């Protein structure tokens, strides 16, 4: 292919066509597309700003003229709503921060035998679960059940990001319960909130997290356990390779042979000093395999000496599904 080129003396000269012109053209088109997307996103944010802040501000002015300072609250609510909305739109669980590579968990006979041995060691005892991903040498980050209601019959389950207090250490205790006929599965009952008449189980309900296609909430059931609750509170223990005291927990109710739904300590924080606990619906990435690691800490083996006046879980039969 040739290009016509005019010299100074107006005599046209044919020169070979160079690919650089095509590359430049492609880059210009790519720049135009990216610029167009950025402009569209900016317009969206401006629209959200107007709807969430501008409109409430105008309403606030009208209310202020009628009722005084009460009207100012409307604009504050609007700003809070905007911040929450933008945070939700920008949230991504696996943001590429995890640089460690993990092998695909083995699901062979040896791994099963290790899981069975770990379950036998835990059943009937109190344990704590420490997030391996978020802990460091100076601070253990515990999964615990605070006195925060998600609804009338549900309590939130979170991970404590700060130094553990006596209150946190108490609320992070879970009794491990076996499941009849399943050697590698357990239920976890909150020692803090359970009693002789009622076990308060951790479970994975059909309630989505901030990214509905990926995250499912984990909560604690305050009412009498129904068959549905007993099913959704079943977790399969999966040992972490080459780590004797680390496990992953898989929701039995929501998993299938081709996809395991792992319990994770998310980077999402709905409340101050607390990370949310979810189960991951999608294929596990390195980030998810890291956040799903929990170190098992037996209550009487470290931290402090704790005594129970009565081991309530040993006085009645264990419910089965």
Q: Per residue of the chain (321 residues), what is the pLDDT tens digit?
A: 444 444 444 455 544 544 445 444 544 444 444 455 456 666 766 766 666 666 666 766 666 666 665 555 555 555 555 445 444 455 577 666 666 777 778 788 999 999 999 999 999 999 999 999 999 999 999 999 999 999 999 999 999 999 999 999 999 999 999 999 999 999 999 999 999 889 999 999 999 999 999 999 999 999 999 999 999 999 999 999 989 999 999 999 999 988 999 999 999 888 889 999 999 999 999 999 999 999 999 997 544 444 444 455 554 444 545
DSSP 274: E
Q: Which of 195, 188, 193 is nearest to 127 (CA)?
A: 188
Residue extents of the structural domains in the chain: 19-90, 109-314
Q: How many CB atoms lie within 10 A of CB 264?
A: 29
The pLDDT of residue 94 = 67
The residue with tokens 């379950």 is 119
Looking at residue 95, its pLDDT comes to 63
Nearest CA-CA partner of 165 in 146, 190, 149: 146
For residue 51, what pLDDT is reported?
63
Task: Give φ, ψ of 212 to 5 degrees.
Answer: -55, -30
Give the Cα separation of 30 and 32 in Å (integer): 5
Where do we find the tokens 């019959």?
153
Q: What is the pLDDT of residue 88?
A: 47
CATH class as words, domain 109-314: mainly beta
């Amino acid at each position: 292919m040739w290009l016509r080129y005019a010299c100074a003396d107006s005599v046209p000269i044919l020169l070979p066509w160079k690919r650089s012109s095509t590359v430049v053209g492609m880059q210009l088109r790519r720049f135009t597309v990216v610029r167009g997307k950025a402009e569209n996103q900016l317009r969206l944010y401006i629209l959200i700003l107007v709807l969430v802040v501008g409109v409430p501000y105008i309403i606030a002015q009208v209310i202020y003229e009628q009722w005084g300072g009460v009207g100012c609250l409307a604009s504050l609510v609007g700003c809070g709503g905007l911040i929450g909305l933008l945070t939700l739109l920008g949230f991504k669980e696996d943001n590429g921060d995890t640089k460690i590579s993990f092998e695909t968990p083995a699901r062979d006979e040896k791994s099963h035998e290790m899981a069975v041995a770990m379950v036998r060691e835990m059943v009937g005892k109190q344990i704590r679960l420490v997030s391996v991903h978020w802990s460091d040498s100076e601070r253990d980050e515990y999964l615990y059940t605070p006195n925060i209601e998600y609804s009338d019959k549900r309590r939130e389950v979170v991970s404590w990001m700060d130094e553990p207090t006596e209150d946190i250490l108490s609320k992070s205790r879970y009794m491990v319960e076996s499941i009849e006929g399943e050697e590698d599965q357990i239920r976890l009952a909150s020692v803090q909130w359970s009693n002789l008449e009622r076990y308060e189980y951790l479970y994975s309900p059909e309630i989505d997290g901030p990214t509905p296609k990926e995250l499912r909430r984990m909560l604690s059931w305050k009412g009498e356990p129904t068959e549905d609750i007993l099913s959704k509170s079943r977790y399969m223990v999966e040992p972490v390779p080459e780590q004797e005291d680390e496990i992953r927990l898989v929701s039995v109710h929501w998993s299938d042979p081709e996809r395991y739904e792992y319990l994770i300590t998310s980077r999402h924080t709905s409340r101050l000093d607390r990370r949310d606990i979810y189960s991951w619906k999608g294929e596990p990435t390195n980030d998810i395999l890291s956040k799903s690691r929990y170190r098992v800490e037996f209550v009487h083996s470290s931290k402090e000496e704790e005594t129970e006046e009565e081991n309530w879980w040993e006085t009645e039969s264990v419910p089965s599904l």
